[in-house]
Structure 1
């Protein structure tokens, strides 16, 4: 286990981000907590002194992300664990989303981690080590009514993170996609944005509200933080880590359903492929492109 690690945690002022920061500090590590507003981080700064650095940051601002990461390295000397936690939930039926609302969800939940990854990689690559944690969601296991845009942002995050893991591995940098289930944070309060509802979806909304009321039991964020500490202490961290029984069971159910569907349609899938030589027009296009260069 690395002694005196330095963490860079986005969205550190509340919810899971704050729990991760507190757990790291309790373990004796140093933490850079990045958030849009710093008032909620004053207590941590006062309690932990120079072991905690609060930085203002909007992860959708690529230039600001680079500046914050550079400042963190300048002040702390290095980065060891980077936690892309900043995000929010835009809730509504897909038909209800305006362009600005849809793009804003992707800007924070997908482009934010992309900008952070681009900013930290030169530093991690230079030191030959580091662990990037991408905080995904149970929503990345499938698309569900009301959370379609949120799921889209997390699906995109996971696809990007798989590629990042493969690209960074040779430099000694590890990537883990963390998929939490339900935790008692402000994701459903101050971290929630609702679309303007269309009347046509009222029956489906009523059905979903009943379902949520009957089966919604979440956990304390500290349990997620304990799991993350075990993750970063591991000498062989996984590409993915599920947090919670609900998300664990759902992951297997969704995987089985996909495999059963693929198997049922195997004949059609295999019939859609038959290798043939490249057509003449494709060869011409490739030659023309080479000559153009």
Structure 2
């Protein structure tokens, strides 16, 4: 039986790749984008199987309206892929208030509004799968991406909590946590802070420290995402790419070592 999947940020990158893969295998897709013209190719190729919806996820009322429109159009929503987001590159000290708020508005609050809109529908269905596109940087922080890291850590905390709250309603919850991929995330969709010369060495070390094969091929992620969607018991955390696992494993080993080193002092602070 075909599934009804709502994908935010379907105009480019992961969103468009996954939308096309789902449509090609016979699923129906509600594709949202800020600019409907960016979805024209999908509509021309797949016709009524794709339902384009204009949406700026930063607008909470618009998010609820878009989700309800999608539900009314297809009758149900089986899967949400919360994919809309962008990258902000720059040191924390360089980041303006407007840049910081914009990063959180889209990557965190936008995702929250769409999640809040979808939960009542899936709760009534007693079924559904909410997939939040986070990042390996929601588990491990890297320099010159401080606000992006923060937005994805927030997404992870929110989503881990959500999973415990909606489990009894038949709703599965997953986090897709990609390492770097060659999408517009670091190109046309990215924003940059105004550079301070003092951070040039940190930025150079960050740029020079990545091997040539660090960036994955976004086109090859579709099969993995289809497997996640089709899984009977999908994982809460789903790493994407060959760099993510060793990166997280090393970081968590170092954290555990620190916890162990300070255990006695930490426990003594409890008082009784």
Structure 2 match to 1:283: none
Structure 1 match to 2:257: 260
After the TM superposition, which segments of 4 or more aligned residues of structure 1 sit over 4 Å from their partners? none
- TM-score (norm: length of structure 2): 0.97
Does the C-alpha gap of structure 1 residues 127 and 218 become closer, same or farther in structure 2, counting only changes over 3 Å?
same
Query: Aligned-pair RMSD on alpha carbons?
Result: 1.1
CA–CA separation in structure 2 for the residues paired with 1:55 and 1:16: 17
Q: Which runs of 5+ in 1 are unaligned?
A: 276-293
Structure 2 match to 1:101: 99
Structure 1 match to 2:242: 245
Q: Which runs of 5+ in 2 are unaligned?
A: none
Structure 1 match to 2:120: 122
Which residue of 224, 229, 232 maps to 2:226? 229
Q: Deviations over 1:103-157 (max 9, x none)?
A: 1000000001100010011110111100000001121122221001100000000
Query: What secondary structure is seen at the aligned counterpart in 2 of 1:245?
Result: coil
Structure 1 match to 2:75: 77
Structure 2 match to 1:179: 177
Higher Rg of the two aligned structures: 1
Please say if 1:49 is aligned against 2:47. yes
Structure 2 match to 1:219: 216
Q: Size of the alignment, in residue pairs?
A: 272
Asked if 2 retains the 8 angstrom alpha-carbon contact of 1:80 and 1:129, the reply is yes
Query: What secondary structure is seen at the aligned counterpart in 2 of 1:31?
Result: strand
CA–CA separation in structure 1 for the residues paired with 2:271 and 2:70: 53
CA–CA separation in structure 1 for the residues paired with 2:167 and 2:41: 36
Asked if 1 retains the 8 angstrom alpha-carbon contact of 2:11 and 2:33, the reply is yes
Query: What secondary structure is seen at the aligned counterpart in 1 of 2:53?
Result: strand
- TM-score (norm: length of structure 1): 0.90
